[in-house]
Amino acid sequence: MSKQGFCAQSLLEWYDHNRRDLPWRAKKDEKPNPYYVLLSEIMLQQTQVVTVIPYFYRFIEHFPTINILADADRDTVMSLWTGLGYYSRARNLHRCAQEIMRKNGEVPDTVKELKALSGVGNYTAAAIASIAFNVPVVPIDGNVERLTARLFTIDAELPKAKKYLDEKAGHLNDDLIAKQRAGDFSQALFDVGATVCKPKNPSCLSCPLSKQCLGYKKGIAETLPRKVVKSSRPVRYGIAFFIQDREGRILFRKRPAKGLLGGTLELPGTQWDLKPISLDNAKESVGVKGLFEDKGCIKHVFTHFVLKLRLYKRIEKIDLSFRDRDELWYSFDDIQFLPFSSLMKKLVQLGFD
């Protein structure tokens, strides 16, 4: 490898023949749609491509342009995001579109301006700038860090090695051709990382960078990058209540705008704690009365913990005359149009079973 880092020519040649066909990606010789790039990159934060694709199609069907997204009701945006997780991204995406429309209605074309938008950090700004506007910058995500660690046999453990890895990765585009084809170069890095230089069982024999990869030559590519072994996720417990009125509508409440599942609707329930809570204490805590049937437990895995949420269904339905005007009552059919998390959808389904 040269002092520059590595030769980009072989990577770009590979990309020209093996590029993934993705709905937000411009066809060969077409100009990228900056709105599509921004939308996809925010969706792809901590989420795999295969998961994002149907959500991307759904969003561009409802919000074909950024001004339509900016004018949309936030609850509608949240409802279309349901199931994709990390709901702060949906709120930030909506604010981001509004911020762009308050300026000139065009997605910014510099990393600095992009980073000033809600929900757009260093990586996302670099990805949008390079792919949408051919800005010669390397977007550094986990794929690019892994590829860099293997290319240069950087065996220091993550996360301590991240700063050094990112410095090395930032020079992967030192070749002139990489700068001239900045968008293609970034996407080539993503595609190799996702389909060839995979975390486990990398396809080194078919990798366009194998001749330059020190990790492959030393036979240790699959062991890189080295990571500190994570401890197991803690388990949290809670109780949720399924309560219907005489017309079959279900009682919900809205979660705070900030925080986990922020802004989505949920069944009334307790906080999620490290110790289980009794039904009597849960009823007192939430402020519900009546006889309840145990419908079972839902296990849901979040990034940092596992949730075990037990559902209780009120045996008798509530008369509408006693309904508080601040309570939220929706039918099962309403759920598809409102901001519900996949966790709450599972609980509602359990309540009807």
260: tokens are 């986990």
Residue in 41, 167, 293, 316 annotated catalytic: 41
41 assigned to active site: yes
In terms of phi and psi (left: phi > 0; alpha: psi -120 to 50; beta: otherwise), the region of 259 is left
Among candidates 156, 112, 108, which has minimal Cα distance to 132? 108
CB-neighbour burial class of residue 225 (10 A; exposed 0-12, middle 13-18, buried 19+): buried
Q: How many CA atoms lie within 13 A of 90 on its CB side?
A: 31
DSSP readout, 57-96? HHHHHH--SHHHHHHS-HHHHHHHHTTS--THHHHHHHHH
Beta strands 328-330 and 306-314, pairing class:
unpaired
CA atoms of 86 and 301, how far apart (whole Å): 13
Residues in CB range of 74: below 8 A, 6 or more apart = 91, 94, 263
Q: Which residues are marked as active site?
A: 41
